[in-house]
Amino acid sequence: MTTDAVPTTPHLAAADEPELVVAPATTFVSLRGSGRPGTEAFHRAKRTVRTVERALPPARRVPGAGAVVEILYRYPEGSAPVGIADFYWINPVDDLEYRVLAQVDPATTDAELAAAADGADVELHTLPERLVVQVLHHGPFADERRTLADLGSFAAGHGLRRVGDHHEIHLDPFTASTPQDHLRTILRDPVGR
C-alpha cells in the first residue's frame, strides 16, 4: 500500500475517531520489561525512563513530551496470533513483553544516554516512519476493549491488519493510584496488508 495519499500525523496527536495515518520516525530512551502492566516493576520502568530523559542535556529533550510515557507491547514468539481488537484477550497478559519509552531528540548519542542513565539498563530505540491506525482513547484502561474493537474494525474495513508492536502513548501521567476517568491514551498499531 502506498502512503502517498495518507496524511502524516504529529507523533503526540490522534483523533477521537479511528484514523489511518503515517506516524513519523521517533527516537526514545527505552527500557525492556515483561509481565502484566500496572505492577511495581512496570511503574518502576516508567519512572526510570522519565528520570533518564530528564537527566539528558536540555537540547536532547523534546518540547511537549516531558510528561508523556509510551509503551510498546508484544507477545513472545510462539504465542497465539492476535489482532488489534483482541490484543489483550487471547494470550495471558502476564506473558506480555514491553518496552517503556520516553521521547528524546533523534540526535541523542549513546554517550549522552550513558551519562544520563547513571547505571540504569536503558537504551536508545527508534521507531521508523510507518503506516498506522490510531485513535485517542479517553478514560480508564479497562474501557480500552471497546476502543480497540472500533480500531480493529476500522483497520479491517481498509483491508489492513496489525504488523508490529501495539503502541500506547499515555498523554497524561499516571501511577497505580491515579483515577483514570480523565486519562488520554493514543492507541496506535502499525498496519499492512
Mean pLDDT over all residues of the chain? 95
Reference 100, options 53, 56, 61, 154; nearest CA is 53
Is the pTM here over 0.85, yes or no? yes
How large a percentage of the chain has pLDDT more than 90? 91
Domain boundaries, the chain: 19-192
pLDDT tens digit string along 134-182?
999 999 998 999 999 999 999 999 999 999 999 999 999 998 889 999 9
Given a cut of 70, is residue 82 above it in pLDDT? yes
Class of the domain covering 19-192: alpha beta
Which cell numbers hold the place of 78? 510462539
Other C-beta atoms closer than 10 Å to the C-beta of 126 total 12
How far apart CA 168 and CA 184 sit, in angstroms, is 10
Reference 11, options 183, 180, 137, 128; nearest CA is 128
H/E segment holding residue 117 = helix 110-117
Average pLDDT over residues 36-53: 95
